[in-house]
Amino acid sequence: MLAGLSQSARGHLAMLAFSALVAGSFSLGVLAAPHIDPGALSVARFVLAGVLVGAAAVATTGIPRSAWVAPWRYLVLGGLLGAYFVLMFEGLKTAPPVSAAAVFTLTPLMAAGFGWLFLRQRLTGRMAVALGIGGVGALWVIFRADLAALKAMAIGRGEVIYFVGCVAHAAYAPLVRKLNRGEPAVVFTFGMMLAGTVLLALYAGPAVLATDWATLPWVVWVTLVYVAVAASALTFVLLQYASLRLPAAKVMAYTYLVPSWVILWEIILHGSVPPGLVLVGVALTVLALGLLLEE
């Protein structure tokens, strides 16, 4: 089936899967966040996902010695994603999952800026309009369709913390293309995860040691397995794969689907349906995705 697809189409398919998988981490993360330090959870996440990706690399392409040339590349990328995940779970302590997902949809606009800065990728007029529409839709959801809150810029602390993490995530996509030297996606991902694990362990070592892992509630373990396997190991490879085949803004455009996926997760897990006016903002982000994906 994949054999007949162009490289660009394969990149789009990878990002569609990415958006579906990453959405679950918001709904599960908000349940687990109060019970464990974000740094400790992120270390465990990187260790487990790193083992899985490393095993996949050995079993498929192998890990050539040339992959370890210029290891600083992995430190840069691992540091960016490590910061993103720590700040994500810190933000989810107070930010509602749909609102946090809306913050995530601001990353295409930032990724476009980083794409120009690092790769001199330029926006077309349609892409600029689409990013603007998506940004408006995201803000509408973040402020929960409350014009008074929007005018007062009454944004929650959790959303602000997570936004800083999204800046790091947005820089990641164009840097993958800039720093990759021909390594297969799974090998490059393993190098990044290994470096990210070291950096996170240095940052959150005390929190890891202070955590009573044996008494953590089941929701933390379910979340850990999900974010390590589905929302880390798989999505890291998918993001690497797509970033080598699509412009940074188009890669991150798929984040516009995340609020829609999160709403489905919230309905399934909690029977929670957002107000109709909030869904207007979600519809705008989906419209933005359609505009961005047009050639």
- Whole-angstrom CA distances from 260 to 35, 105, 205, 286, 289 are 26, 11, 36, 8, 12
pLDDT of residue 150: 66
- pLDDT tens readout for residues 186-219: 899 899 999 999 999 999 999 999 999 999 999 9
- Whole-angstrom CA distances from 68 to 75, 153, 258 are 12, 46, 34
Residue 142 has pLDDT above 90, yes or no: no
Phi, psi angle pair for 253, to nearest 5°: -60, -30
Residues whose CB falls within 8 Å of the CB of residue 173, separated by 6 or more in sequence, listed in order: 111, 114, 115, 239, 243, 248, 251, 252
pLDDT of residue 75: 96
pLDDT of residue 270: 76
CA atoms of 256 and 112, how far apart (whole Å): 14
Of all residues in the chain, what percent carry a pLDDT higher than 70? 95
Helices (H) and strands (E) in the chain, counts: 14, 0
pLDDT of residue 153: 59
CA atoms of 34 and 279, how far apart (whole Å): 27
Q: Average the pLDDT over 231-251 and give the result.
A: 81
Q: Average the pLDDT over 254-267 and give the result.
A: 81
Residue 7 has pLDDT above 80, yes or no: yes
Question: Which residue would you say has higher pLDDT here, 171 or 3?
Answer: 171
Residue 74 has pLDDT above 60, yes or no: yes
- The answer to whether residues 190 and 54 touch, using CB atoms and an 8 Å cutoff, is yes
Residue 70 has pLDDT above 70, yes or no: yes
Q: By three-state DSSP, how is residue 90 classified?
A: helix
Q: Average the pLDDT over 137-153 and give the result.
A: 72
Residue 2 has pLDDT above 70, yes or no: no
- Whole-angstrom CA distances from 73 to 68, 79, 87, 193, 279 are 9, 10, 22, 11, 40
Q: Which of 1-5, 14-18, 99-103, 129-133 has the lowest mean pLDDT?
A: 1-5
Provide the mean pLDDT of the chain. Answer: 86
Residue 295 has pLDDT above 70, yes or no: no
Residue 269 in tokens: 């897990």
CA atoms of 227 and 28, how far apart (whole Å): 9
CA atoms of 176 and 142, how far apart (whole Å): 29
Element (H, E) at 282: helix 276-293
- Whole-angstrom CA distances from 104 to 90, 236, 285, 289 are 14, 16, 11, 14
CA atoms of 25 and 234, how far apart (whole Å): 13
pLDDT of residue 3: 64
Residue 75 in tokens: 């430190």
Residue 285 has pLDDT above 70, yes or no: yes
Q: What is the model's pTM?
A: 0.81
